[in-house]
A and B are shown apart, each in its own frame.
Chain A
């Protein structure tokens, strides 16, 4: 089989992994090739709009497991391939030199047993680091069930190590991935958390959950995420809208992947990590799912109108963050600027505040931007939803005219 075909087969099998970030690692200059950037760099964007930063690939797509949602499950009749360590190193270095990629994302189907698979991955990565002197970013998937000795070896070679939890609850996992055991995944997470240092997976660990394959609510998903962040110090939890690649009577038959839901979960995830929100602020048993029409923060603000309006020139950083339309950047800018002068509405939009949303929830020097008698849930909600609809409509309606028809 030609190398080009192997690359196509193994990239095709790896593409459903959401993580492609190359951030969190800042390696000082070394001899050899490559460096990492703390903020990460996107090198291209695929036709689905997702960032391509790493050469995302499987070492092999042969697998002894039979997970129902997975394109590489044992019982699927698909082309199988395996890369040798030298082939993998050559592709990575050649892509890297041409600035196609920021580094390597290596995962693998499980061949023989977890330890054997991990050894093959370590062999390839260690060749890349030591023989080819590659200093770029490497993200490797740890294989659940592999020994701690191998985890240690891998962790010392890579920037980020991760294991996928796949489904938000253990029942879901039992149903769809009978060969997988969530304890083995959390075991890896616990180990990475314990060993994490500037030499061992300096960019930390992440994980991924599939959304919409089983019947869990957003509340279940967020509870799981929040416990993962608290217990294992994860850098990121990725959410991946379920895309039906296999047919199975335990799997839902969807027409379109739940992309809007995925988007809402990411927004809520940010609220947990950077905005000081708790899961219970956003969801509970009576309201287990997010509203698809407005974002989670606006939804929260509409249910807590008694906390508003907030005075821009006085309220604290975390209070600023609770205002829809204000993010971490604009909040920091507001804090830094208001020490120098009193802010007015016109200053806010220049600082990156989205006034379309923020205007209902703020005052500047005790002045409102809109008549306060209109500030009620119904009015704001209908306006925001209408804004969103009009935006989408205009996106669809106006296309740039072509100068020359073909």
Chain B
């Protein structure tokens, strides 16, 4: 017998609408994937063309509250290939046990939900600190990231509050997505749609990044040097985009 893989268009509302549809019709999926998924020999893809319905989102939100919904949304942002199925099983158990389900760590889907949500949360929290903006010649602030999980929406929400009077662009290089902020709202779009000169930096950019480098160099206490400890808190994969960890920075000092 073939495994049935249900597909959706990759957006959060569509996923929730699809899952609600599956519940209603008592369908148990073997997997849920984004459109364009290549099925293996034992799988058939089924596209139900479910219209995304705001009502489903509101229904889930009202039924389980913001706390549980933020967990579900964070699982959706995770890089895990089974994230949709985790959400399906989590909501299935939530139907059965109500909002208390979040404490039932003996259920595998709950453990997995908490684990994935925590991973997304941690990465977003780390990047809230590690993101480095450069000022471009047109005074727009521009930052590059390439996170494991799709934390761009969470970061955008943070910087919308923090740098609310600046124009900024955050570029997720791994996913070719950019978040642009126009002093009112942020929009997440494909990078190819963005027509903007991102190469020219402003006049005093180099001077300021050099000051930051020299501050970073100075603030460490030689007698306490501990590279392992630094690496624990600030894993190497983030260094690539961090001003103070760049090669130019070391040369400058």
Q: Which chain B residues border A130 with CB–CB below 8 Å?
A: none
Quick check: which of A29-37, A114-122, A208-216, A220-228 contacts chain B, the rest being far away? A29-37
CA of A100 to CA of B163, assembled, Å: 13
CA of A94 to CA of B204, assembled, Å: 10
- Contact in complex: A47, B130 (CB < 8 Å): no
CA of A256 to CA of B229, assembled, Å: 17
**A4 in contact (CB, < 8 A):** yes
Chain B, residues 201-229, CB within 8 Å of chain A (1/0): the string is: 00010011111101110111111111111
CA of A333 to CA of B214, assembled, Å: 43
**A83 in contact (CB, < 8 A):** no
CA of A12 to CA of B219, assembled, Å: 6
**B144 in contact (CB, < 8 A):** no
**A385 in contact (CB, < 8 A):** no
Q: Which chain B residues border A351 with CB–CB below 8 Å?
A: 105
Q: Which chain B residues border A259 with CB–CB below 8 Å?
A: 224
- Contact in complex: A347, B133 (CB < 8 Å): no
- Contact in complex: A32, B165 (CB < 8 Å): yes
**B131 in contact (CB, < 8 A):** yes
Q: Which chain B residues border A337 with CB–CB below 8 Å?
A: 103-106
> With contacts A48-B226, A98-B134 known, is A41 near B211, CB below 8 A?
no
Main secondary structure of the interface of B (DSSP, over half): helix
Q: Which chain A residues border B211 with CB–CB below 8 Å?
A: 3-4, 7, 91
**A374 in contact (CB, < 8 A):** no
> With contacts A8-B214, A34-B162, A337-B105 known, is A48 near B224, CB below 8 A?
yes
Q: Which chain A residues border B229 with CB–CB below 8 Å?
A: 45, 48-49
Which residues A82-120 have CB closer than 8 A to chain B? 91, 94-95, 97-100, 102
Give the nearest-CB partner of A13 in chain B: B218
Q: Which chain B residues border A7 with CB–CB below 8 Å?
A: 211, 214-215
Interface residues on A, range: 35 or more
Q: Which chain B residues border A97 with CB–CB below 8 Å?
A: 133, 135, 141, 163, 166
- State the interface size on chain B (CB cutoff 8 A): 53
Choice from A33, A48, A53, A340 contacting B225 with Cβ under 8 Å: A48
Q: Which chain A residues border B194 with CB–CB below 8 Å?
A: none
Q: Which chain B residues border A98 with CB–CB below 8 Å?
A: 132-135, 141, 208-209, 212, 243
- Contact in complex: A47, B162 (CB < 8 Å): no
Q: Which chain A residues border B103 with CB–CB below 8 Å?
A: 336-337, 339-340
Choice from B159, B216, B228, B232 contacting A44 with Cβ under 8 Å: B216
**A1 in contact (CB, < 8 A):** no
Chain A, residues 16-51, CB within 8 Å of chain B (1/0): the string is: 100000000000010111110101011111111111
**B129 in contact (CB, < 8 A):** yes
Q: How far is the CB of A78 from chain B (nearest CB, A)?
A: 13
**A243 in contact (CB, < 8 A):** yes
Q: How far is the CB of A94 from chain B (nearest CB, A)?
A: 5
- Contact in complex: B224, A45 (CB < 8 Å): no
Q: Which chain B residues border A347 with CB–CB below 8 Å?
A: 105-106
Which of B166, B224, B229 counts the most A-chain CB atoms under 10 A from its CB? B224
**A15 in contact (CB, < 8 A):** yes
**A172 in contact (CB, < 8 A):** no
Q: How far is the CB of B73 from chain A (nearest CB, A)?
A: 19
Chain A, residues 124-145, CB within 8 Å of chain B (1/0): the string is: 0000000000000000000000
Q: Which chain A residues border B215 with CB–CB below 8 Å?
A: 7-8, 11, 55
**A373 in contact (CB, < 8 A):** no
**B171 in contact (CB, < 8 A):** no
**A312 in contact (CB, < 8 A):** no
CA of A369 to CA of B114, assembled, Å: 26
Which of B134, B212, B214, B228 counts the most A-chain CB atoms under 10 A from its CB? B212
- Contact in complex: A44, B234 (CB < 8 Å): yes
**B4 in contact (CB, < 8 A):** no
**B128 in contact (CB, < 8 A):** yes
Give the nearest-CB partner of A20 in chain B: B219
Choice from B132, B214, B219 contacting A4 with Cβ under 8 Å: B214
Q: How far is the CB of B189 from chain A (nearest CB, A)?
A: 21
- Contact in complex: B105, A12 (CB < 8 Å): no
Choice from B132, B204, B233 contacting A45 with Cβ under 8 Å: B233
Chain B, residues 224-253, CB within 8 Å of chain A (1/0): the string is: 111111101110000000111000000000
**B161 in contact (CB, < 8 A):** yes
- Contact in complex: B165, A341 (CB < 8 Å): no
**B178 in contact (CB, < 8 A):** no
**B169 in contact (CB, < 8 A):** no
- Contact in complex: A33, B132 (CB < 8 Å): no
Choice from B143, B207, B227, B232 contacting A47 with Cβ under 8 Å: B227
- Contact in complex: A35, B234 (CB < 8 Å): no
CA of A50 to CA of B224, assembled, Å: 9
Give the nearest-CB partner of B232 in chain A: A49
Chain A, residues 314-349, CB within 8 Å of chain B (1/0): the string is: 000000000000000000010011011100000100
- A contacts, CB < 8 Å to B: 3-4, 7-8, 11-12, 15-16, 29, 31-35, 37, 39, 41-53, 55-56, 91, 94-95, 97-100, 102, 241, 243, 256-257, 259, 333, 336-337, 339-341, 347, 350-351, 395
Q: Which 7 A-B pairs have the closest CB atoms?
A: A49-B229, A46-B220, A47-B220, A48-B224, A49-B226, A43-B129, A336-B103
7 additional contacts (CB under 8 A) given A12-B218, A48-B222, A49-B228: A7-B215, A45-B230, A47-B226, A48-B230, A94-B204, A98-B243, A340-B103
